[in-house]
């Protein structure tokens, strides 16, 4: 996934997307992808370490995944949520 950043970054710059905003959305999408099936690498690790069944873990993690989708949607609609703090600190 990280190998795609050099491909998408110049395209995002051509569309006028702030690099910080692009990076935040890219990483948040990556985290969501690692937590959700069918890839869900993190789910397999947690199941292996704790001994919990995959179905139980997925069922219990959906509220958190839904919250991450909501944050992703809000940050896509309002880029100022991502860039406000770094801009106020001089970035």
The tens digit of pLDDT for each residue in 37-64 reads: 888 889 999 999 999 999 999 899 999 9
Residue-level length of the chain = 91
- Cut 0.75: pTM above it: yes
Rounded CA-CA distance 32/34 in Å is: 5
DSSP 43-85: HHHHHHHH---HHHHHHHHHHHHHHHHHHHHHHHH-THHHHHH
pLDDT value for 38: 81
Nearest Cα to Cα of residue 40 among 31, 51, 53, 49: 31
């Amino acid at each position: 996934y990280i190998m795609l950043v050099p491909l998408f970054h110049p395209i995002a710059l051509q569309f006028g997307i702030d690099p910080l905003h692009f990076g935040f959305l890219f990483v948040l999408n990556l985290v969501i992808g690692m937590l959700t099936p069918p890839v869900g690498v993190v789910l397999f690790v947690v199941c292996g370490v704790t001994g919990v069944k995959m179905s139980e873990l997925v069922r219990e993690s959906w509220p958190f995944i839904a919250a991450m989708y909501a944050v992703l949607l809000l940050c896509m609609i309002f880029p100022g949520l991502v860039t406000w703090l770094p801009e106020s600190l001089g970035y």
